Structure 1
């Protein structure tokens, strides 16, 4: 089943992650993508609008906030090396989405979201049991990253990893969702404050925040991906 939607707002918070630790966090056959000697991980806040199965009018679609922690991965496919992300955990403000897994690559948790945003400034929080992420970010004119030399390079890296994998209920089984967009456009963000229970729990100095990207008003389609 294909799900159609509009990405109203998507914020990608990307970290440098120790490559050995990243390997330990990933299930086979996934391995970390390496950039400048580091793995790339992060958190994605995404708000979807008009989310509905293909064939249903957009006016009947849902609007929901979702969040997920991510690790950029690669694996060997029939046509060579494939790229995507693995989601160690994911959350949705929609009870139906979290419970059914239809809107997510695999099982998710129900999260509570707090959002304050303007055209230039974003304050987002997600809480789910003992898990949380909170960020304060603003639009930026300048680019700062140790992983990527330019905003364009960072944006292309994300665009080249359209499949998100998650561990299914059965051990050793991965389920995936492929994202297809009507077009691809991002802009840089300056992060003023950021805290994440997922990254806080990692060994000291194993993860360091690197950069953030913003996407807005992007038509998007989501469909199941065949296993790696």
Structure 2
């Protein structure tokens, strides 16, 4: 039986962001999606998220659930649905260290997941994160710490501006196993917090190696971090391609 709603805790969420020319990125996202533009730039990157106490909403009273480390390569998008302009994120690829996620994702619940190895240290605001997918198609390494301000090169003028930009993208779509539609998933949060994150080291490979975006077209923008966010993942209608 398909699972329609899942509840849990976002223990940690890092959003790694790059600026890309909208004309470059349009070639790698399917219609009806178009890049969401801010100050002439589209924003692409990867969401690195630790989920805890994940369980179907029907079992929300249980005191324990499943925990996992996950990564989602995504881009902020807009599209028109029944004459109404909408916004969200298009997710190229999802990775996880949970074998259960790889089994049910795209089948019992939206979102195909690939299996990956994660190494994470998170202590006193310092985070060291490493992910290498088993198929070797995606790799992410980042280290740094929470800070007080976004980098000067960011297109976002304040933490409030970047927070509002991403809060509007609660609907996420990713390809189904047959690649003939995109499955929808809505992130509903009970509380929302976001802080700047200062990067010491950063390496990502998927956008260059698999999406074929030239290195010179990927301009680092910023990283932000969220912690301890109660949330619900809710299935929403798919969109045919």
Normalised by the length of structure 2, the TM-score is 0.90
CA RMSD of aligned residues (A): 1.5
Q: Is the 8 A contact 1:13 1:42 kept in 2?
A: yes
Q: 1:205 — aligned with what?
A: 216
Asked if 2 retains the 8 angstrom alpha-carbon contact of 1:98 and 1:104, the reply is no
**Structure 1 residues 41-79: Cα deviation after superposition (integer angstroms, max 9, x where no partner):** 111110111100012134231111111111111110236
Q: Specify whether residues 210 and 104 from structure 1 end up closer, same or farther in structure 2 by C-alpha distance, changes over 3 A only.
A: farther
Q: Match for 2:64 among 49, 60, 74? A: 60
User: How do residues 39-118 of structure 1 correspond to structure 2 at under 5 angstroms?
Assistant: 39-56=42-59, 57-78=61-82, 80-101=84-105, 105-118=110-123
Are 2:229 and 1:218 equivalent residues in the alignment? Answer: yes
Cα 1:104–1:18 change in 2 (3 A) is farther
Q: Is the 8 A contact 1:22 1:71 kept in 2?
A: no
Matched, 1:8 2:11: yes
Give CA deviations for 1:159-211 in whole Å, capped at 9, x if unaligned. 00001110112333110100000011111101111101113432131111101
**Where do 5+ consecutive residues of structure 2 fail to align?**
none
Do 1:105 and 1:164's aligned partners in 2 also have CA atoms closer than 8 Å? no
In the other structure, the counterpart of 2:176 is 168
Structure 1 stretches of at least 4 aligned residues deviating more than 6 Å after TM superposition: none
The partner residue of 1:34 within 37, 40, 58 is 37
- Structure 1: stretches of 5+ with no match in the other structure: none
- State the aligned residue count: 228
The yes-or-no answer on 1:21 pairing with 2:24 is: yes
Pairs within 5 Å for 1:179-198: 179-198=187-206
Q: TM-score, normalised by structure 1?
A: 0.95
Looking at structure 1, the residues matched to 75 and 62 of structure 2 have their Cα atoms a distance apart, in angstroms, of: 31
For residues 104-183 of structure 1, the aligned pairs below 5 Å read: 105-128=110-133, 129-130=135-136, 131-144=138-151, 145-183=153-191
